[in-house]
Structure 1
């Protein structure tokens, strides 16, 4: 009786020792068959395969251990066989389950779409949001001047909240855009981890007025009574005793403080300031619109008219009507009918790469229309013979469902 427990323990030991490789092979084959063919290996096949491999392992083990060769007791052998089969069947079941759960399609986009940890998500007003924290000091970007200390401190101490249901890549883009728009930074890079900690590198604001002056125009800054609500890009009429000049607003400031500005603040205390297109002025802070009242306004006018404005006294600013933008009305009508716009980039090796629009049949297969395609150069309303390759950019319209299916196939 004392030998039976020992024989069972010996059989378990031999079964574990010889069953590791059969279990590993069974698990891997079970995963591959389920993942590739969506078919499970029959249990009888697993048993035969496991016994064959275990027999080879057991034979090699018997050659090295004389006690196994000389043993006439069948209990250890039977116990070892049972253990080997149990390990092989369990490993096959787990591999089969993993093959069924594994995604059939992996892409760089799906790997990139990391999400935040749940412990950093806050529930505010029935919505999940996340508060981003700037980790360490804000770094400088090579090739740009260093960031001022007060601006670096303001970015690091700021409170930045965003919707928590966005992937990390989208949060990085939105955070960078928000920093660039609020502080008029020349460039921003953001690296965000799963704990909502952001490493930020930024470049200070650069001169932007000269970049907004069209070719052949001249920027002129005037002290005048500035209407409220003026923003960059408005068309205004400047009335002087001598003439009337029409120009485009580049920057404006009104009121007793400089907090209400549109596109920047003129940088001198003189009544007039002129700058040729292409010259770099002093950096200008960004803002929204004017509040109205006495202030300064910078407009882009023709070179001949700029000389007249430089000598003008007490000019009057009249805002011109821009009318209704028909393209905005069209977009609004399309959105009300359930049609959306989307920008898609063709991925390498996808169903669009190396084919023409007609060959893919985007209208019949995906129920979308391609408005424009960039293949070496932009082509509006491309025809069916338009070739597509990896890296091409497409502007497509369709319903949310069709756009999602097309974007998934293309990328």
Structure 2
């Protein structure tokens, strides 16, 4: 019994020794196979590969001899060596699956502006982006109206110069959709800061602007000047009053201005009205349209709150008059025009550059506001 225990212990020791090289080889092989094919080798296959490898290694190291009285030791050496190889193979497969893939693509830097474009950066670190060529139509959408195409082509935009080109393109797409109410837009920026733009015009489909329980009806009416799509109105005709929403104004350019609003006088108006009232308006030759309020705007509420607090708001040009006026305790600068055409709210004094428009709030009746009002009306404020 004691001899068997000794043989088992020797077998374990010799098995670890003889199985070391086969285990390393099979671990590396499994890692390579798994990383290339994304599939591992079954444990049974690993064991079949390991058995002759461990036997050859043990025989070459002269740690086993195939004799009858050493059968127990040989069996233990082979079992331990095979188990060690299977374990090493599983670890190689695990390591291969946890390593990141496509490392080269992941660390590729984003494209940025070239040195030529960087030379044109202003003091605020912004670069001017302009269309590189004619604004193209977006495939699958109606063509752009010529006037809108020209307006976009003549425009320019300013963005931080340290942004990647893809981020500048994304921001310009969002700006174009907002400024021109485009249905869709695609922008590509080259390293010189020039934009290749493809755009789709604003959607004019009536169906997209109708509520589910409404119908579109056109009537001729005396339209208030400035009536535009989206206005809430009441249509009066033959003793009937119908609430509706303006969908379109005018039958042609002569009846609307460049913004698509009514130029005043008689025109044709397309309205979205409840389905139950649509039939009443279909046979009407002429109607009377009254614009109704769609609620108090937040801007009016803000002015009313300032007025109750004894403050008044003025629109001024920075740089007119005494430059210290905007730093007076009687005046708070609410917003100043930004370089990109937007507004900076609660700006720092450094942003108050001469020539820019600003909105200020001051104590009602204060000397500073009186001087602002005097300059606006053309006298010297004395």
Q: Please, what TM-score do these two structures have when normalized by structure 1?
A: 0.39
Structure number with greater Rg is 2
